[in-house]
Structure 1
Amino acid sequence: MTTVDISELVCPGCGDLVAATPPTGWPRAAGRRPEFSHLDGSVLCLDSRGRVGEPVEAAGERFALTPRAEAALRAAGGSP
């Protein structure tokens, strides 16, 4: 099994870094809680079908990070 460092995962919708924690305030009626959230605890961006996105690896795609994600990465001790 291959493991990926959480600092290499981003939201597929906005490119922001993700946290390996479920989103805060996830309603029980919505079903299974996602495993990942944005750093602020919000749910990852929805895909084109309205489903909660799964994080994607950002390795080699740092050029696509948003300014907010770059700032968060620098604040976490990384570099874009």
Structure 2
Amino acid sequence: MGATSSTASAVSTAVRAEDLVCPGCGSTAVPEPPIQWPAAAGQAPEFSHRDGSVLCPDARGRITEPVEIDPAAGIGEWRYELTEAGQRAVAAGCRS
């Protein structure tokens, strides 16, 4: 009985940093902690806005993680839904 080997093609699950946006406002997120994060607040988040500010909090005030946009779908196509505040910001043209 011969052994068979199957080779599965590896699928990349890496997310490109330039495809990440803040779910609250739709601005580009960068893989850097916010500047001037107070030590009393604990460990700084891993992502911030381009200007170094913390990503927009969710409706409960929690710091959010960035979401990935789908570049293959074209500009403005989101892989995930924005928050209501983010949808209003994008509609108002605040996306950078």
Q: Please indicate the TM-score interval, normalised by the length of the shorter structure.
A: 0.7 to 0.9
Could you tell me which of 54, 73, 76 is aligned with 1:63? Answer: 76
1:17 corresponds to 2:17: no
1:48 corresponds to 2:59: yes
Identity %: 50
Structure 1 segments (4+ residues) deviating >2 Å: 60-69
Amino acid in structure 2 at the alignment position of 1:62: I
Larger Rg: 2
Could you tell me which of 43, 46, 49 is aligned with 1:35? Answer: 46
Amino acid in structure 2 at the alignment position of 1:9: L
Gaps of 5+ in 2: 1-11, 79-89
Deviation at 1:62, TM superposition (A): 3.3
1:61 and 1:46 mapped to 2: Cα distance? 26
Amino acid in structure 2 at the alignment position of 1:27: P
Gaps of 5+ in 1: 73-80
What is the TM-score when the length of structure 2 is the normalising length?
0.64
Q: Deviations over 1:7-66 (max 9, x none)?
A: 100000000001110000000110110000000000000001101110000114732684
Secondary structure of the structure 2 residue equivalent to 1:7: helix
Paired residue total? 70
